[in-house]
Amino acid sequence: MPKAREVFEASEDFTVGIEEEFAILDPSTQALDHRYEELAAAAQADEVLAESVAGELIESEIEIRSGRGETFADAARRQDAARPRLFALAGHHHADLAATGTHPFSPWQDQRIIDTEHYRRLNDDLGYVAWRNNTFSLHVHVGVKGADRAIKVCDRLRPILPELLAISANSPSLDGRDSGLHSVRSQIFTKSFPRCGIPDVFGSWAAYADYVELLVRTGSLVEHTQLWWSVRPHHAFGTVEVRICDAQSSAADSTALAGLITACVAQAVLDLDEGVAFEDPPARLVEENLWRAIRHGLDGRMIDLERGEEFPASALGDRLLAWTGPARGALGLDPVLPADNGAQRQRRALGEGASIHEVFSAEVELCRETYAREEVRT
């Protein structure tokens, strides 16, 4: 833990890293396909992909990482460069890619864990919990200087996490059925993995370090990445990592969501530095909003935890944009959020009589059309 503290003390505010996870598909059936090792090996011949491609638990999943961007625009440019290269590589190797929070019909029993020491350990430690977790998400790292600041920013973001999930919800189907949820990914991940979901309030690095050191001493942790919370301090990067969001079928939606997440972290830092009053809400109330986000996404109602009143979840985007106005102004962030998210789009098609396979095919096509086209960012 002293080394991790040193990393945060040497960190810089508001550097950004973006991580996007994709399902690897058989193009003839759009079922999950065990092709990670093949694609990762081929990516080594591409100077951009060699640095950005990574594995994530199962052999039918591949991730691209921007690496450290000095600004959000820098990180987004890096991701824009990798996206079309990854899709071209997949196409050359007769594979498709998708970016919904879950695969809607491939059996989890058919998936294989990546053969690395890290993932073998997860397989041994978690068993069914790891096997069942065939999910895909968007993670954003934002640099925060100072260990105590980072912990307090994580604390401040706790009630924001369900709001970001509702905005990002993009996984209504699983196991060949409409789950009735807007983010079934969150239900099978955050409600299943240990040390996952909404973390406790720690208040200081010392309190956090005491907890982590207890887990290490008692054999619960081997490495800090076994803390799977929806927001966490990343010991190696000196960042606050937000991990709550479903993967996005549209590249523009993914970039906008990453920009909003960056703004939320930055606004939490600004509020902390300016001494803006904030009272940490009880975990039970944050969990109530988390369930509402999982179940109804933007179609439901959320609770304003300060006022104790409901409001339409459809207002979440505007509310978060209003709160983050100062940070967005300072960092030049102007994310354009879509009118509807992926879960609403898919649920609407299901309601109109489309099959789960037809709905997923449309999402795969949207993914191909948008991620395979390089954007120009300044």
Q: For 262-292, how does the pLDDT look when each residue is reduced to its tens digit (9 = 90+)? A: 999 999 999 999 999 999 999 999 999 999 9
pLDDT per residue as tens digits for the range 172-208: 999 999 999 999 999 999 888 999 999 999 999 999 9
pLDDT score of 287: 97
**pLDDT above 60 (res 58):** yes
Q: Which of 328, 341, 332 is nearest to 254 (CA)?
A: 341
**pLDDT above 60 (res 375):** no
**pLDDT above 80 (res 378):** no
Q: Is residue 278 a part of any domain in this protein?
A: yes
Task: Find the mean pLDDT for residues 42-70.
Answer: 96
pLDDT score of 122: 87
Q: Which of 111, 115, 151, 116 is nearest to 134 (CA)?
A: 111
pLDDT score of 116: 87
Q: What is the DSSP pairing of strand 196-197 with strand 231-234? A: unpaired
**Six token digits for residue 184:** 């079934």
Distance from C-alpha of 39 to C-alpha of 158, rounded to nearest angstrom: 36
Q: Is residue 259 a part of any domain in this protein?
A: yes
Q: Is residue 361 a part of any domain in this protein?
A: yes
Domain total of the chain = 1
pLDDT per residue as tens digits for the range 63-122: 999 999 999 999 999 999 999 999 999 999 999 999 999 999 999 999 999 988 888 888
Q: Is residue 377 a part of any domain in this protein?
A: no
- 32 pairs with which residues across the strands? 25
Count of positions (residues) in the chain: 378
CATH of the domain at 344: 3.30.590.20
Q: Is residue 376 a part of any domain in this protein?
A: no
pLDDT score of 93: 97
pLDDT per residue as tens digits for the range 329-357: 999 999 999 999 999 999 999 999 999 99
Distance from C-alpha of 182 to C-alpha of 184, rounded to nearest angstrom: 6
Count CB atoms within 10 A of the CB of residue 338. 16
pLDDT per residue as tens digits for the range 238-255: 999 999 999 999 999 999
pLDDT score of 117: 87
Q: Is residue 344 a part of any domain in this protein?
A: yes
**pLDDT above 60 (res 359):** yes
Mapping DSSP to helix (H, G, I), strand (E, B) and coil, where does residue 174 land?
strand
Alpha-carbon torsion, ordered 17, 100, 184, 135, to 10 deg: -60
Domain extent at residue 359 = 2-371
Q: 0.85 exceeded by the pTM?
A: yes
Distance from C-alpha of 60 to C-alpha of 64, rounded to nearest angstrom: 14
- 137 pairs with which residues across the strands? 246
All residues at 6 or more sequence positions from 270 whose CB lies less than 8 Å from its CB, including other chains: 326, 327, 330
CA 20 from centroid of its chain's CA atoms: 8
Task: Find the mean pLDDT for residues 222-248.
Answer: 96
**pLDDT above 50 (res 303):** yes
**Six token digits for residue 266:** 């930055």
Q: Give the pLDDT band (50/70/90) at residue 374.
A: low
Q: Is residue 173 a part of any domain in this protein?
A: yes
pLDDT score of 376: 42
Q: Give the pLDDT band (50/70/90) at residue 48.
A: very high
- DSSP H or E segment with residue 359: helix 356-371
Task: Find the distance separating the first CA and the last CA of the chain, reported in whole Å.
Answer: 38
Q: Which of 2, 12, 3, 1 is nearest to 239 (CA)?
A: 12
Q: Is residue 323 a part of any domain in this protein?
A: yes
Q: Which of 191, 169, 197 is nearest to 316 (CA)?
A: 169
